[in-house]
Amino acid sequence: MDYNQAQERVNQLKKFYKSLLWFGIVSAIIFFNDIFEQGKLDFSLFKGSIILTIWGIILTVKAVKLFILDSEWERKVIQKEMGKSKEPIQF
């Protein structure tokens, strides 16, 4: 991994962790607001829980891309594909 790739990865990690922090803050605000107002959780569209669900799904997809399907995984798959060689045709 060269410097530019490392810098790009650090920037992606920084954006992901910042999004995760904001998700946690907004979730806590909505959660405690529901608890204090109603005394229970209400998972309706207009209370923000659907928005949090969609936001959580998006963060999950970003985490998979960032941590599982990273450049190391890509390099391994490329090497694996390059290792597959076709048998030469014998006449």
pLDDT at 23: 93
Cα separations in angstroms, 1 against 32, 55, 64, 75: 44, 31, 20, 10
pLDDT at 40: 65
pLDDT at 83: 77
What are the average pLDDT values for consecutive 10-residue runs of the chain, which has 91 residues? 83 93 90 75 62 89 88 80 70 66
pLDDT at 89: 65
- What DSSP character marks residue 68? I
What pTM does this model have?
0.68
pLDDT at 17: 95
